Structure 1
């Protein structure tokens, strides 16, 4: 599977800004955006997605030990999120906890694309696939989210009550 975007790094200082103590001097989260595995005829390229600084994640909080997020372009209800530092600010203002990250190699969050493989600015709900603490070798364990993501139902995820 081809990675469309390179990683952002989130060091322990940014983690601390969001209220999470890791006990490590340098802990990083890598973000990699992949094309949809369900569609092969219309997959976005890195050029379609735009410059890296204009793509980011809006974390919505942890659900059943996991998390949901949007693949979001620039705007949220708390203002633009264009850098990884803004993710920590968003979490802090939303009072969403970051879980402790173990020291060692960076952990990877796989972002599955929209049904046509694109991240969109108008209809772009995405689902998270597991708690960061259980990541191993960049592979997320199990889908744990529910709710109004477009992949729910189609992917076998339960709908939220």
Structure 2
């Protein structure tokens, strides 16, 4: 007798996107992993996490940085009849086309094989064809938290030396990418 259940979608905020990708896409961690599909290279997720963490620190916001989001999409059990690679590619490419964002997804069953589902991780930022590089038109000063300050005096200690953790980006150097 087939299992009858309702489909559902759950969305989660991810504060460790690289760790979550490893978890959902690893045969060692998922005993019923059928397929993994990616719309971009893995280095995109490292860069995304780094960029989001830097922006989060700059904002001075409390709490955890949201690096990406994840949808867990329960599928009807009858979908096991479809080829896993093609099913996952169809879902993921449709999402990317509609929302214009990079994705990585994995198709699983739970341990008891009663819940056939997709984990779809997506970026809230779009991948640019070329990075935006900002070059300092004058020296830029940063405090120990990485926050831009207006003057050199703000990062100097009583001894006239740059305080620990503070730094200067010199005129002509890249300060943001």
Looking at secondary structure, tell me which structure has more strand per residue.
2
Structure 2 length normalisation: TM-score? 0.24
Structure whose alpha-carbon radius of gyration is higher:
2
